Chains A and B, each alone.
Chain A
Amino acid sequence: MKYLANVTTLRYSSDKCAGCGRCVEVCPQGVFVMQDKRAMVTDKDLCMECGACAKNCDFGALSVDAGVGCAAAIITGLLTGSEPSCGCGDSSPGCC
């Protein structure tokens, strides 16, 4: 299943890639494959902006505006003027 096309904020600069393969290891959507000792993006629209790749890329080749793709969290964020985040762990029951 894929979500909306052409919305992801994922940016990949292959010239910075050192070929460690961490992104392939951490991406839960199979966005990356290794090809010729470098990571390659298969289909950007698969990206769910979780941020695992950017967090674990030691070479600064990846960036993404990571956040929760959760309507309730985003509405709460809009109302309170804060960054969207799940209610998890707070007093209110959250989305996950």
Chain B
Amino acid sequence: MQTLQTLKFVKKELPPFALGTISTLAGTIYKVSSDWSRADFWGMVKSRSGAFRMNYTVAPGLYAVGDPTALCDVFATANYKLSFDILRRELKGMNAWVLVLDTKSINVWCAAGKGTFGTEELIKRVSATGLDKVVSHRRLILPQLGAVGVSASAVLKATGFRVSFGPVQARDIPAYVAAGYKKTSEMAVIKFPMKDRMILTPMEINPAMKKFPWFVGAVLLLFGLQPSGILFRDALYGGLPFLLLGFLAIFSGAFLTPVLLPFVPFRSFALKGLIMGILSMLAAMPLLGPVVRTEILLFAAAWLFFPAMTSYIALQFTGSTTFTGMTGVKKELKIGLPLYITAAALSLVLLVVHKIREWGLV
């Protein structure tokens, strides 16, 4: 069985990030490069934009960086390829082992929350790779954010390996190792700078834009619907301002609010979004033409609906932040959801009343 696997292994082409293979007491493993190829870079861009985030993967198992000996450190990571790529890049110039857990191609933090980067998988992977034969020490260094899923004492009991939770960011690993495996409080705290918040916005904008065609269809239908049929001119004339406001609500909720997060007043994301929604409505008003501004019902419907929509979209960003907790988000939703539904329903009623008046039925 072992020979068969080794044969298969040799026959298979090297993955692009591998420099070659090395033999260990537990079998042949890939020696990986610390440099990124152009494909690695584009892979990052594509996965960040959500294009194929769900299957950007690397095979779980043990890998070597540099020329590690039995005394070298073992760093664990997830089998989301971007997590693996960042780790091997940051280990440049070091000799180390990389233990990739099967996290279903999900990054360390999210996988730890789900339990796939977890105690059970780590124990399984340590034994499957024969790590106790490869290294003579009994130390594992895990990314700190993996601690959500891994109980260090349970791993020690089951495998004999002592888990240390390293820095949050892989880029701090060299300093952490140099300091004798001690991290500064800086290294232990996750920050959420504007650049990181901006990187995450495509994952907010894309899902919202996917629903946008439905919104466009509904708006055009509503405005174009006349007793004589659907009139394209009416649909565009009345509908365009609403489409613009809808687009603006997505932009301010999914992009502006995340990027400007600490500068928007209040801790509540629903309130932050509401403020940004009101501000963008104010900014857009002069551009909307006479229809929305003179028709009081349309005007009211727009003011009811769009700030609420921005608020709702901004609240979604809680899923991407590093500091929002479940109890808090539940509280926001408990108060927010009934208000959002009411606002949407009322604005729909106003629009219908507007249509009835437009048709001269009242």
Contact = CB atoms under 8 A, between A and B. Distances in A.
B189 A4 contact: no
Interface string B169-211: 0000000000000010100111010000000000100010000
Using C-beta atoms within 8 Å of the partner chain, give the interface range for chain A.
35 or more
Contacts of A46: 323
A7 B188 contact: no
B104 A24 contact: no
B110 A88 contact: yes
Given A8-B325, A89-B104, A58 B113 contact: no
Contact of A49 (B188, B190, B326): B326
Given A29-B190, A49-B326, A72-B319, A1 B261 contact: yes
A55 B112 CA distance: 11
B193 to A, nearest CB: 10
Nearest to A49: B325
B143 to A, nearest CB: 10
B105 A89 contact: yes
Contacts of B53: 93
B144 A26 contact: yes
A93 B54 contact: yes
B265 interface: no
B148 A48 contact: no
Contact of A70 (B105, B145, B319): B319
Given A88-B110, A95-B320, A25 B165 contact: yes
B165 A74 contact: no
Contacts, number: 155
Contacts of B330: 74
B333 A96 contact: no
Contacts of B332: 4, 71
A24 B188 CA distance: 8
Q: Is the interface of B mostly helix, strand, loop or mixed?
A: helix
Given A55-B148, A96-B106, A74 B168 contact: no
B326 A26 contact: no
Interface centre among B269, B319, B337 (most CB of A within 10 A): B319
A25 B176 CA distance: 13
Nearest to B262: A1
Interface string A55-81: 110100000011111111111001000
Nearest to A93: B54
A27 B113 CA distance: 14
Contacts of A67: 325-326
Contacts of B153: 56, 58
Nearest to B54: A93
Given A27-B188, A88-B114, A96 B147 contact: no
A47 interface: yes
Nearest to A69: B324
A49 B111 CA distance: 16
Contacts of A1: 192, 261-262, 321, 323
B267 to A, nearest CB: 5
Contacts of B188: 24-25, 27-28, 30
A73 B319 contact: yes
B308 to A, nearest CB: 14
B268 A30 contact: no
B151 A55 contact: yes
B321 A69 contact: yes
Interface of B: 50, 53-54, 103-107, 109-114, 116, 144-145, 147-153, 164-165, 168, 183, 185, 188-190, 192, 203, 207, 261-262, 267-269, 315-316, 318-333, 337
Given A66-B326, A75-B337, 18 more contacts: A1-B262, A4-B267, A7-B331, A25-B183, A26-B147, A28-B190, A30-B188, A30-B189, A55-B150, A67-B326, A68-B113, A69-B321, A69-B328, A71-B318, A71-B332, A74-B329, A78-B333, A88-B110
Which 3 pairs between the two chains have the least Cβ-Cβ distance? Answer: A70-B319, A95-B319, A67-B326
10 contacts: A4-B331, A25-B164, A25-B165, A28-B144, A28-B189, A48-B322, A55-B147, A67-B326, A78-B333, A86-B110
